[in-house]
Structure 1
Amino acid sequence: MPESLALHGGPKAVQTTFPWPIFDETEVQAVADVIRSGQWGNPDCTGLVEVFEREFANYCGAKYAVSCVNGSVSLRLALIACGITPGDEVIGPPYTFIATASTIIEANAVPVFVDIDPETYNLDPAKIEAAITPRTKAIIPVHFAGQACDMDAILDIAKRHNLRVIEDAAHAHGAEYKGRKLGSIGDAGSFSFQSSKNLTSGEGGIVITNDADLYRKMASLRNVGRLPEGAWYDHFLPGCNYRLTPMQAVLLSHQLKRLDEQTKLRNQNGLLLNELLSSIEGITPLTRGHGETMHCHHLYIFKYDSARFQNLPKEKFVEMLAAEGVPCFKGYPYPLYKQPLFQEKNFMCYALPETASYAEVVCPVAERACGEEAVWILQHAMLGTREDMAAFALAIRKIQNAVRI
């Protein structure tokens, strides 16, 4: 292999570093003020949690928001509030983080995996109806990487079959479908503020809705089952303490002020990368034009064809690309249904029927994405310059030229 590759001692194609998270003394001072106040938790005398919830709901074009400790809990709150009961089935994709499915199990319900669209890696609407049974109660479309799902098609299916739609928008802060912010389109929308996310406080989550009844239930479940009309020791629903802290809330309020500008930049850079990478043999960006009017690129994903790189395995390609200075990752190694959790049926729940089995589940598109195709460029790299995007493309060409010698 030629020495020009960074993996073998050559200069990197990308010289820029991409810090994350991005903050300044404004955030530092805001958090310090909360610390000095001594009001660190519940009851939130500062009102900062409520302020952020209102700001985020307004930003998304939703009426209500319930913050909580993380994006997994926000999904669980939505599932329970939407009336998911033991033994119900919930449809979702296998190409996503474990929480999309494990929270269904936590609600004593049954995850049903439907394959993804090869053009977007999102839940394929054309395959949903074949998975619907009399026990199906909800669909969880995951706006993977910040790419909007085909919400018109999914909502049409849900309406015809009387199903709830809970958007998993953990990757989708600021992204839009036909001009509407993701998360605000279904019955509820769940977001994560974990450290890698486009809007972060290290950990945290939130769920938004336009349904007053859902809001009332989720707010109660988040706050140990209390309701506004009850006293402090009155608990009406089986909730727990899932509350966000004022320190996280004030940090998120300040980070939210940066989000629009960052989202527009990621979207612009994504469009530019599509142009730059489309001309490289064996590299195929995921497609646009499926209703998204703003892509927030929590990930920039392209499909890799090893045949055009002298059968260089994807893992080796990603290792070389990372050495060239591109913040990248090989993605999930296998779909969710191949996790030990599902293959060994370690559900620890009483309500899942014995017939619930994942041994024979096969989603070919998801398996190709995991094993052969998908390469991720991470979101903080999408905040670079046009020159950085050109350097990413140069790095890929450099690898291709090297392996062809």
Structure 2
Amino acid sequence: MRKIFLIILVILAIVSVSAVSASENITADDSLLSESSQENPNDNTYNSEITAKYDEPNERVKIYVKENYGEKEDALVEKVRCKFDNRTTKSTDSYIDGYNGAFYAISTSSLDKGKHQAEIGIVDSFYKAKPILFDFTVNKKIATLHAVKITTTSDIILKATVKCNGKNVNEGKVTFKIKGKSYTASVKNGIATKKIKLGNGYYTYKATFKSSKFSAKSSSNHAIKGNKYYTFKQKGVYGGTYSINIPFKKYLKLVEAKRNGYYKYFTLKTGKTDKFISSKEIYTTKTVYKWKQVKVLDYTSYWDTQESYTFSLSKYYTNGWTYVGGYGKTYSNGYDHYSIFKKKVKTTQRVYVGSKTVYSSKSYPLRFFIGVNENSKLYCKWGVTRENQLKACIVIPHWSGRL
């Protein structure tokens, strides 16, 4: 009986020790204050002091640990722990050299807008410090919301981008409002999209952004839906008929030119042919007589030697040549005499006799020139590569919001 009693006492003692040990572990993990304020078993410990600042632009708490004596040098500790709002604990063992000394940075990017409290303490073998409670306020950051202009021939996909300081925002929701209805989409990698079904038309839509961390002004743009092609039938000046299929996006350029009153042009290939007229000049060759004149050196005299040399001129007095006259030329040591002869010579000449109309049949790309004339009406002219020999007009319907 005595032996059984002793065994029971031993069991109760073991259970009691285990309970105390478990209680101590729970207390240590539950509070940074209780953990950091425990006495360090190392006798060679040094007192230090913790201060903190909120770095709003970089979304972090900057924690400084300084020695609490002398010149208060940086205390580089093994770990800094920070518990936000008595819920989430974060820690770091690396420091950053700053202008005011080394500091430890704990990110606050996950915190919502509003007031927060951080419980900050250190873990180190040689330094001890009294933990602190640090209060700070997180404000919403300013983001930029941009509603994208949509042009489509199928379902409309509304789109907006959200950026902050040039970086994509990856949270929050965008609400699109179009034609009296609202649609919501989440922001992922700076983009929110929503696919909707609407008929052809020119719509204005508005995008608004909602987030716990960011604020942004609303943004508006247009969503335009139309047919893949718009067909115009047009007769050429000289008889050809064109069915011109204008792609939707190019058709919108015509519409915008009319709406805004500016010039615009682009090129379309019709795949059709037309007769282009041109004027061809006609020349003929005929025989004509022209006077031909020659100059002949008939003799040369040298004053120093009194020598003379005479050309034979007999061939010029025959064969139809007529003597016109002569002239002399004097130079430093001699004298030359020339005789001039002329006669009519038979030759041919290219003579203009008139012009005729020439037609050609080719396929040319058409270039549309869009503008507003003096009567504030839209006009279009289209020409080909051959000096605008083909001209015509096409009619663009008055813009009324329909396509």
User: Shorter-chain TM-score: what band?
Assistant: under 0.3
Which structure's relative contact order is higher, taking Cα pairs within 8 Å and 6+ residues apart? Answer: 1
- From the CA coordinates, give the structure whose radius of gyration is larger: 2
Instruction: Give the helix-richer structure, 1 or 2.
Output: 1
Task: Give TM-score, length-normalised by structure 2.
Answer: 0.19
Instruction: Give the strand-richer structure, 1 or 2.
Output: 2
Task: Give TM-score, length-normalised by structure 1.
Answer: 0.19
